[in-house]
Structure 1
């Protein structure tokens, strides 16, 4: 009988592990890194390596989050967490997270020391957030540093190890901060019940939502006005897209719209990179 159940059990574990990666952010960040590599002219081989390195890093961050937060998630009975559902053991998540971390280190450094270390800043930032910074007033710092380092690392992966333009790094940091504020919004009450008081919890839902909206608009303005020359049509289009995303983010101060803010930030970030790619703005 155990042989009959084994394939189903493996499929169930695989599905649980997939859900524990936080698939939405993982896919979005990996896609952004890959598109930036294309825009920077990294070439097919190195672009594929960027994709693999960023994906491994994001997997390690997602799995470590659910592993380290297992007891806290159980305490508030988070229904969206596979570990709370009993679908995966925290020990399995720990093994998966550490294995993905090793893969991320190896894959990142295969791109070279400079791009590798910059990409690993994002991974280290995610682990630092999961390990305890989320409970402090400095909870936004891992997002600012990590998402500022991501475009810098991807651009450095291009031939000649070029430096990313300031406006790309600044926009990445701003979008990272906005993502943090939006990501926390749906779970503020559960977080407070288990002693988590990061920056969004201290600011409050309304102030966090307004700040998130301002960061989204600011990041889009930097992406449009930062490159040399007059803004392109694609650049102006990104501002048009940013307005509704910022409105949704601002509405995250109300319970009804809290779960829409983070998808709006992720979607805007991907669209910004797509429009950046089509605008032909020089990244190197």
Structure 2
């Protein structure tokens, strides 16, 4: 491999890592399954998925761009900018390009649907640029996740809107995911002046809050749709409660353990699966 090809491969690897690939893939896949579940055809589903992917990439890259100085200060070797895999300027440029692509793809789903999705992406950018260091750090997650079902339903054929319970569930899912996602990096964040809601609560209380909020999201998904809860709903709810109780117990007994984060993510996965299974119940006649 030539030096130029090696440098390009390194940059691509750095950009992939800086995109926060895990959350990006999860949210994108969730949006795609949502779109298919509410009856969108292959074309609209692909367009929704592509729009969400571009938006998530812009959010992930903007996060590493805006946090680059703090990450260098605490020597976050797991960050690609600190590791020298990609430069701050390259991440900055990638974030702007992804945002521009997101605008085009979002509006291609329809004017109203597109504006809803762009509002969700803009909300996520406000977290990166400002709110992550305030007591309102949870708010962009509530707004952005809460708008996701609305965007998907508005982008689907027909005159329909998202069920309020679905928007409430995804808003809670977003808040719980935010609190859980900060747990592994609380100390590094504090060292650079980041004082979001989880940092103000402290590790133990935040470790208990994350699974609690996520269980609330699961409860809304189980009880929100019309009719009695399904067998899958009852099973998913029971699993979520068991995982949440485990996370809370570990958080109280082992204050430095990372297990509450993993357990909270498992609860979030249960919630996402139940949301996808809800399918047509997510959409209501307009």
Aligned residues: 281
Structure-2 separation of matches of 1:98 and 1:252? 39
Distance 1:24 1:182, change over 3 A: same
Match of 1:257 in 2: 257
Aligned pairs for 1:179-194 within 5 A: 179-194=177-192
Match of 2:113 in 1: 115
Match of 2:174 in 1: 176
Match of 2:271 in 1: 272
2:77 is paired with a residue of what secondary structure?
coil
- 1:198 deviates by 0.8
- 1:248 deviates by 5.2
- 1:84 deviates by 0.3
Whether the 8 Å contact between 1:186 and 1:255 is mirrored in structure 2 is no
1:137 is paired with a residue of what secondary structure?
coil
Structure-1 separation of matches of 2:279 and 2:185? 39
- 1:125 deviates by 1.5
Distance 1:175 1:91, change over 3 A: same
Structure-1 separation of matches of 2:229 and 2:71? 46
Whether the 8 Å contact between 1:50 and 1:154 is mirrored in structure 2 is yes
- 1:42 deviates by 1.4
Whether the 8 Å contact between 2:244 and 2:267 is mirrored in structure 1 is no
Which runs of 5 or more residues in structure 1 are unaligned?
A: none
- 1:237 deviates by 2.2
Q: What is the root-mean-square deviation in Å for CA atoms of aligned residues?
A: 1.8
Which of 207, 210, 215 pairs up with 2:208? 210
Whether the 8 Å contact between 1:33 and 1:150 is mirrored in structure 2 is yes
Residue 75 (str. 1) matches residue 73 (str. 2): yes
Whether the 8 Å contact between 1:126 and 1:146 is mirrored in structure 2 is yes
Match of 2:140 in 1: 142
Whether the 8 Å contact between 2:133 and 2:193 is mirrored in structure 1 is yes
- 1:178 deviates by 0.4
With normalisation by structure 2, the TM-score equals 0.92
1:129 is paired with a residue of what secondary structure?
helix
Whether the 8 Å contact between 1:114 and 1:161 is mirrored in structure 2 is no
Aligned pairs for 1:1-40 within 5 A: 4-40=2-38
- 1:228 deviates by 0.5
Whether the 8 Å contact between 1:60 and 1:97 is mirrored in structure 2 is yes
- 1:271 deviates by 3.8
Whether the 8 Å contact between 1:234 and 1:279 is mirrored in structure 2 is no
Structure-1 separation of matches of 2:279 and 2:97? 38
Whether the 8 Å contact between 2:39 and 2:280 is mirrored in structure 1 is no
Whether the 8 Å contact between 1:34 and 1:47 is mirrored in structure 2 is yes
Aligned pairs for 1:57-136 within 5 A: 57-136=55-134
1:144 is paired with a residue of what secondary structure?
helix
With normalisation by structure 1, the TM-score equals 0.93
Which runs of 5 or more residues in structure 2 are unaligned?
A: none
Distance 1:5 1:191, change over 3 A: same
